[in-house]
Structure 1
């Protein structure tokens, strides 16, 4: 059992390196940031390789009212072996992740 902890820590580090979160995504010479609209991302990056409806999420607006927004995930790539996953909630970019392709 003395090797169990180092092996676990090594696998944890390897997993953490396989997926990276970011606040910006580069599309050629353009850059999109969190909170960008789907229209802005489409204009700067073009059509994604894949787009899928993930579901719906209930959110509170600035006035305290609850409403549902659509959640989508767009995938761009591979670009130099990297896939980029963009998650939109209510047509706003909320999360950007990257992962090296296999």
Structure 2
């Protein structure tokens, strides 16, 4: 196989991976406005309406504290709420993640068929 053919094959494989990947962003345009990282849930709900689905889970955080010769690991739970929006055919599924009631992550997924 010639070098140029190998490069073409690798470029195609890279594009396929890239096109199916999830991408993070800092804003999301929805029904009646733009939401940004840091917005609260009620503001997002007002601008974007009800999500197609809601899911919540606990993200474990471990913190360490050391006093004298004693080391203690404390594990706490941070509640994460994920809202998924289906913007319609030909557009990307979008998941909004809230931490402590604030929008902390916006990720797009696969294209809706």
Please classify the TM superposition score into its range, dividing by the shorter chain length: 0.7 to 0.9
TM-score, reference length from structure 1: 0.72
Shift of 1:15: 2.1
Question: TM-score, normalising length from structure 2?
Answer: 0.67
Map Cα deviations across residues 20-77 of structure 1 (whole Å, 9 max, x no partner): 32110111230000111112111111110100113234388xxxxx853211211011
> CA RMSD of the aligned region, Å?
2.6
Match of 1:87 among 97, 104, 107: 97
Structure 1: state its 5+ residue gaps: 61-65
**Residue pair 1:87, 1:93 contacting (<8 A) in 2 also:** yes
1:63 aligned residue: none
Separation in structure 1 between the aligned mates of residue 83 and residue 59 of structure 2, nearest angstrom:
15
Structure 1 segments of 4+ aligned residues over 6 angstroms from their partners: 1-5
CA gap of 1:10–1:45, structure 2 versus 1, over 3 A, is same
**1:50 paired residue among 49, 53, 70:** 53
- Higher Cα radius of gyration: 2
